[in-house]
Amino acid sequence: MDIQFEDLTYEVKPPFWQTKVPSRTILKSVNGRFSAGELSCIMGPSGAGKSSLLNTLSGYNYKGVSGTLKLNSQVRDEKLFRKLSCYIMQEDKIQPMLTLNEVMMFAAELKLSNGTLTKEKQMIVTEIQNVLGLSESKNTRTEFLSGGQKKRLSIALELINNPPIIFLDEPTSGLDNVSSTYCLQLLRGLAHQGRTIVCTIHQPSASMFQLFDHVYVLSQGYCVYQGSTDQLVPFLSTVGLHCPLTYNPADYIIEATDGEEQDNIEKLTAATINGKQSLYKTRDVNNCYLNEDTTKSGELLLPELNGNVITTKLLPLPPIKYKADDEVDNDDDDEDDVVKPGNTWCVDFPTSGWSQFCTLWKRMILQLYRNKLGLNIQFYHHLICGLAVGIVFYGKANDGEQFFNHMKFCMGNILFHTFTQSMVQVLAFPSEVKLLKQEYFNRWYSLRPYFLALQLSRVPSIIFFSSIYTTLVYFMSGLPYELLRFSMFNIICLLVCFVSEGMGLLVGAVFNVTNGSAVGPMMIAPFLGLAIYGFDFAHQVPWIMEFVMQASFLRCGVIGLVITVFGLNREPLHCDTGYCHFKDPNIIIYYLNVDRKHPYFEIIKLVVMLLLFRFLTYFALRRRLTS
x/- letters, 137..156, toward ligand ATP (CB under 6 A)? --------------------
The residue count for binding ligand ATP (CB under 6 A) is 12
x/- letters, 170..209, toward ligand ATP (CB under 6 A)? --------------------------------x-------
Residues 202-221 that bind ligand ATP (CB under 6 A): 202
Phi, psi dihedrals of residue 569, rounded to the nearest 5°: 55, 45
Nearer to ligand ATP by Cβ, of 12 and 206: the residue is 12
> Counting contacts by CB under 6 A, is residue 65 touching ligand ATP?
no
Residues 40, 216 contacting (CB under 8 angstroms): yes
**Which of 3, 8, 26, 254 touches ligand ATP (CB under 6 A)?**
26
What DSSP string runs through 450-515?
Answer: HHHHHHHHTHHHHHHHHHHHHHHHHHHHT----HHHHHHHHHHHHHHHHHHHHHHHHHHHHS-HHH
**What is the Rg, in whole angstroms, of the alpha carbon atoms belonging to the chain?**
31
Q: How far apart are CA 151 and CA 133, in angstroms?
A: 12
Query: For the chain, what is the largest distance between any 2 Cα atoms, rounded to a whole number of angstroms?
Result: 106
Across the strands, what pairs with 196? 38, 165
Across the strands, what pairs with 6? 68
Q: How far apart are CA 613 and CA 499, in angstroms?
A: 7
x/- letters, 6..25, toward ligand ATP (CB under 6 A)? ------x-----------x-
**Which of 4, 35, 40, 51 touches ligand ATP (CB under 6 A)?**
51
Q: How far apart are CA 344 and CA 353, in angstroms?
A: 18
Q: Candidates 47-55, 363-371, 408-416, 615-623 — which segment interacts with ligand ATP by CB under 6 A?
A: 47-55
Nearer to ligand ATP by Cβ, of 10 and 106: the residue is 10
**Which of 2, 6, 7, 47 touches ligand ATP (CB under 6 A)?**
47
Closest by CA to 196, choosing from 299, 304, 70, 313, is 70
**Which of 33, 50, 152, 267 touches ligand ATP (CB under 6 A)?**
50
Beta strand pairing status for 3-12 and 38-43? unpaired
Instruction: Output the smallest distance, CB 221 to ligand ATP, in A.
Output: 7
Nearer to ligand ATP by Cβ, of 130 and 173: the residue is 173
Instruction: Output the smallest distance, CB 258 to ligand ATP, in A.
Output: 12
Instruction: Output the smallest distance, CB 43 to ligand ATP, in A.
Output: 9
Across the strands, what pairs with 312? 300
Instruction: Output the smallest distance, CB 264 to ligand ATP, in A.
Output: 17
Residues 535, 558 contacting (CB under 8 angstroms): no
Instruction: Output the smallest distance, CB 52 to ligand ATP, in A.
Output: 3
**Which of 44, 227, 400, 567 touches ligand ATP (CB under 6 A)?**
44
Q: How far apart are CA 290 and CA 306, in angstroms?
A: 29
Nearer to ligand ATP by Cβ, of 13 and 242: the residue is 13
Residues at the interface with ligand ATP (CB under 6 A): 12, 24, 26, 44, 46-52, 202
